[in-house]
C-alpha cells in the first residue's frame, strides 16, 4: 500500500511517500496507524494521541474504522488550511 | 470548472471569459483570496512575508470538483469557476478565485460564500507561512472555518 504524508507530518516523518505491505490482521485505518507507530520514534511522535490528523483512503476522507486493502492509496495529513 | 495551478491568474480576464457569450447570466459574484502580510495570534500580530501552499495532487481536484457539483445542485448556476494556486507566493499575491454566475444575484452571492466555506475545510491544501526572517511555520486550522461550514449543513434541512 502506498502511504503519503503532507505538511508537518511529511517533515516530521521525513518522507513524502513510502510503500508498506499489510499483514493479514491490518484491516482498518486505525490498524494502519497502529502499524506505522511501530516504525520508530518519528512515527510515534507524528501519529501520537495528542495530534490532530486526517486520513484519506483513495483520495476520500476516511474514519478510523474505514476498511483498507493492499493497493489502496493511504494519505495522512493535518486539518486543511487552504483558501 | 476547476483549476489547480502554480501560476497567478488575472481576475478580470477570468470573469470576462466566463461570461462571454452567455446572455442568460444576470449577475456574477467573485471572491479573491490574497496572501495577507500578518497573522493574528492570541498575543499579537506576526509579520508574514510569503507563504508556500502545499497540496495533495489528485485529491485536491477531486474535492474541488465535488464542491462545485454540490453548489450546482443547490443553486441555479449558469457557471462556476474555482482557481486555487499552490507553491510559493509573496504577500499581496492571489491565492484563490471563486466566481459564480447566475440569472439572479442571490444564487451568485450565496453559492460563492458556500464554495469558499467548503473549500477551506475540505480541499487538501496546507499553508506554510514565512516571517521576515525566513522562518517557516505551518498554519493551524481554525475552528471558525468549521463553524462556517455547519451553517450550510443546518440550512440544508
CA-only gyration radius of chain A, Å:
12
How is residue A30 written as a grid cell?
486505525
Nearest-angstrom CA–CA distance, A67 and B115 = 30
Q: Is residue A83 part of a domain?
A: no
Domains in chain B, CATH or no CATH each: 2-147 (3.90.1170.40)
Nearest-angstrom CA–CA distance, B48 and A67 = 41
- Report chain A residues touching chain B, CB-CB < 8 A: 4, 6-8, 10, 52, 56, 59-61, 75, 77-83
Q: What is the predicted pLDDT for the residue at B157?
A: 42
Q: CB neighbours of B39 closer than 8 A, spacing ≥ 6?
A: B45, B46, B48, B129, B139
CA-only gyration radius of chain B, Å:
16
Q: What does the pLDDT look like over B23-76, one tens digit per residue?
A: 999 999 999 999 999 887 777 788 899 999 999 999 999 999 999 999 999 999
Higher pLDDT, A51 or B95: B95
Q: Domain of A63?
A: 2-77
Q: What is the predicted pLDDT for the residue at B154?
A: 67
- Residue A50, domain CATH: 3.10.20.30
Q: What is the predicted pLDDT for the residue at B43?
A: 73
Nearest-angstrom CA–CA distance, B112 and B101 = 9
How is residue B140 written as a grid cell?
493551524
- Closest CB to B138: pick one of A61, A78, A83: A78
Q: CB neighbours of A52 closer than 8 A, spacing ≥ 6?
A: A78, A79, B141
- Closest CB to A82: pick one of B62, B120, B138: B120
CB–CB contact A81 B139 (8 Å): yes
pLDDT at A65 over 70: yes
Q: Look at chain A and count its residues.
A: 83
Q: How many domains does chain A have?
A: 1
| Sign of the alpha-carbon dihedral angle for B112, B35, B9, B20 | positive
State the complex-level ipTM: 0.95
pLDDT at B109 over 70: yes
pLDDT band at B101 (very low <50, low <70, confident <90, very high): very high
- Closest CB to A56: pick one of B59, B120, B140: B59
Nearest-angstrom CA–CA distance, B148 and B157 = 16
CA angle B143, B148, B151 (to 5 degrees): 130
B115 close to B27: Cβ distance less than 8 angstroms: no
Amino acid at each position: 500500500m502506498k502511504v503519503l504524508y503532507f505538511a508537518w507530518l511529511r517533515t516530521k516523518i521525513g518522507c513524502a511517500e513510502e510503500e508498506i505491505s499489510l499483514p493479514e490482521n491490518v484491516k482498518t485505518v486505525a490498524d494502519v496507524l497502529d502499524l506505522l507507530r511501530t516504525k520508530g520514534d518519528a512515527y510515534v511522535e507524528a501519529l501520537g494521541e495528542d495530534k490532530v490528523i486526517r486520513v484519506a483512503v483513495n483520495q476520500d476522507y476516511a474514519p478510523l474504522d474505514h476498511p483498507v486493502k493492499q493497493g489502496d492509496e493511504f494519505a495522512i495529513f493535518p486539518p486543511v488550511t487552504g483558501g | 470548472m476547476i483549476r489547480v495551478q502554480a501560476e497567478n491568474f488575472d481576475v478580470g480576464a477570468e470573469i470576462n471569459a466566463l461570461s462571454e457569450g452567455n446572455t442568460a447570466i444576470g449577475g456574477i459574484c467573485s471572491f479573491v483570496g490574497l496572501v495577507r502580510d500578518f497573522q493574528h495570534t492570541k498575543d499579537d500580530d506576526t509579520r508574514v512575508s510569503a507563504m508556500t501552499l502545499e497540496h495533495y495532487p489528485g485529491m485536491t481536484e477531486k474535492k474541488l470538483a465535488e464542491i462545485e457539483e454540490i453548489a450546482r445542485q443547490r443553486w441555479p448556476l449558469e457557471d462556476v469557476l474555482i482557481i486555487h494556486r499552490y507553491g510559493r507566493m509573496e504577500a499581496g499575491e492571489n491565492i484563490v478565485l471563486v466566481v459564480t454566475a447566475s440569472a439572479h444575484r442571490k444564487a451568485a452571492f450565496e453559492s460563492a460564500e458556500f464554495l469558499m466555506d467548503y473549500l477551506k475545510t475540505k480541499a487538501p491544501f496546507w499553508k506554510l507561512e514565512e516571517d521576515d526572517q525566513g522562518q517557516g511555520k505551518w498554519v493551524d486550522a481554525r475552528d471558525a472555518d468549521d463553524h462556517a461550514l455547519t451553517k450550510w449543513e443546518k440550512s440544508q434541512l
